[in-house]
């Protein structure tokens, strides 16, 4: 039987960075009730409309059932394959059916609660609570993005076609063919700062993510290397059980897999932000999704004209620069399959 997660929002303690401590120890940390009921309702409505459009073939940027990693072929939808994900929630050409849907996703990506935890995990100072200052919106974010870089924002959904879909055990940026020595060289060292953070934020209760706690900090064991790619259970695995509106932040090189139930509704926001000093390391992971092709056309006007908007624009500029630095270069793909 799969063990269940017990990790929750850290209780008050002398530790000034409890989320970062939990991430370094376990490879993931859960923050409970990050979204308000109103935010959750707005996101469910917008996500439902977008998912329906993607299932109908109105959006080419989708993850197709039967293929785990990019590139995906949206031309297979809707006739030949179902989908398990919708890409590029900040894309300026998103096929929205209600006027405010683009803004709902923009506000979700730049959500103060998400970015507050992200700053802690990236060892960046959080300006929250330092006063309104110029701009008058009182959100406290710095005009330069506080050292953050815009990265990816997608959505993971229930596979259609009446059949479930499972991902194999993997690390997001280390192939299964890597030797123990290669894994050790590429895994985060104890105390080494993170240059990005990744999260899942479900709009419906979600137990799709399965992880092996602590595996982010060590090479695979002999048993893990010898195991079937879809082994269930794998020794030490836990299921990350999230309520709607919770958020799990995790090291993307933790051993993990996804198991998607075709009979259970799923719409889970799946995003990442980077550290300004980590662009070179993150280029392949981010640019393999094609975000550099459209990021310069994003519309963040829903954020107003204050500090939050200036923060978002600074984060966007850093992603544009990352694309320009790698223009004409084949960055390849992190994994195959």
- CATH number of the domain to which 304 belongs: 2.60.120.620
Mean pLDDT of 69-84: 89
Do 208 and 260 form a contact (C-beta atoms < 8 A)? yes
pLDDT single digits (tens) 192-240: 999 999 999 999 999 999 999 999 999 999 999 999 999 999 999 999 9
Rg (CA), the chain: 19
Does any domain span residue 155? Answer: yes
In Å, how far from its chain's centre is CA 126?
20
- Give the torsion sign (CA, 136, 137, 139, 141): negative
Number of domains in the chain: 1
Does any domain span residue 337? Answer: no
pLDDT of 97? 84
Does any domain span residue 65? Answer: yes
Question: Is it the case that residue 8 has pLDDT exceeding 70?
Answer: no
At how many degrees (to 10) do helices 18-26 and 112-121 cross?
60
Do 248 and 114 form a contact (C-beta atoms < 8 A)? no
Distance of CA 79 to CAs 157, 158, 159, Å?
Answer: 18, 17, 14
SS3 34: coil
Per-residue tokens: 246? 């919770």
Does any domain span residue 38? Answer: yes
When pLDDT is cut at 50, 70 and 90, the band that residue 69 belongs to is confident
Do 112 and 96 form a contact (C-beta atoms < 8 A)? no
In Å, how far from its chain's centre is CA 32?
16
When pLDDT is cut at 50, 70 and 90, the band that residue 326 belongs to is confident
Provide the domain limits for residue 306: 18-124+144-326
d(CA 163, CA 132): 51
Does any domain span residue 130? Answer: no
pLDDT of 96? 87
Q: Is 313 exposed, middle or buried (0-12, 13-18, 19+ CB in 10 A)?
A: middle
Element (H, E) at 268: strand 267-275
Does any domain span residue 98? Answer: yes
pLDDT single digits (tens) 115-153: 999 999 999 976 543 333 333 344 445 556 679 999 999
Does any domain span residue 331? Answer: no
pLDDT of 56? 94
Question: Is it the case that residue 316 has pLDDT exceeding 60?
Answer: yes
Do 43 and 278 form a contact (C-beta atoms < 8 A)? no
pLDDT of 35? 98
Question: Is it the case that residue 289 has pLDDT exceeding 70?
Answer: yes
d(CA 150, CA 291): 10
d(CA 151, CA 163): 31
Backbone dihedral region of 139: left (phi > 0), alpha (psi from -120 to 50 degrees) or beta? Answer: alpha
Does any domain span residue 336? Answer: no
Q: What is the mean pLDDT of the chain?
A: 89
């Amino acid at each position: 039987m799969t063990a269940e997660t017990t990790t929750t929002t850290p209780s008050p303690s002398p530790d000034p960075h409890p989320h970062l401590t939990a991430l370094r120890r376990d490879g993931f940390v859960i923050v409970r009730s990050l979204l308000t009921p109103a935010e959750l309702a707005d996101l469910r409505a917008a996500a439902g409309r977008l998912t329906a459009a993607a299932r109908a073939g109105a959006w080419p940027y989708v993850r197709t059932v039967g293929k785990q990693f990019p590139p995906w072929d949206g031309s297979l939808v809707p006739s030949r394959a179902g989908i398990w994900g919708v890409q590029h929630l900040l894309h300026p050409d998103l096929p929205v059916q209600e006027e405010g849907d683009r803004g709902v996703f923009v506000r979700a990506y730049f959500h103060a609660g998400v970015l507050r935890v992200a700053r802690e995990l990236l060892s960046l100072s959080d300006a929250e609570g330092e006063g309104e200052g110029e701009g008058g919106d009182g959100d406290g974010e710095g005009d330069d993005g506080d050292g953050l870089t815009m990265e990816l924002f997608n959505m993971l959904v229930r596979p259609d076609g009446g059949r479930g879909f499972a991902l194999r055990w993997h690390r997001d940026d280390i192939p299964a063919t890597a030797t123990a020595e290669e894994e050790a060289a590429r895994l985060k060292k104890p105390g080494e700062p993170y240059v990005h953070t990744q999260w899942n934020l479900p709009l419906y209760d979600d137990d799709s993510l399965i992880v092996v706690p602590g595996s982010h900090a060590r090479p695979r064991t002999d048993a893990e290397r010898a195991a079937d790619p879809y082994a269930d259970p794998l020794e030490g695995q836990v299921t990350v059980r999230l309520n709607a509106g919770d958020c799990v932040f995790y090291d993307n090189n933790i051993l993990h897999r996804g198991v998607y139930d075709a009979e259970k509704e799923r719409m889970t926001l799946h995003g990442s932000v980077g550290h300004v000093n980590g662009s070179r390391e993150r280029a392949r992971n981010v640019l393999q999704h094609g975000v550099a092709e459209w990021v310069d056309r994003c519309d963040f006007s829903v954020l107003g004209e204050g500090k939050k908007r200036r923060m978002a624009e600074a984060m966007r500029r850093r992603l544009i620069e990352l694309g320009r630095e790698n223009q004409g270069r084949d960055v390849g793909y992190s994994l195959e399959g």
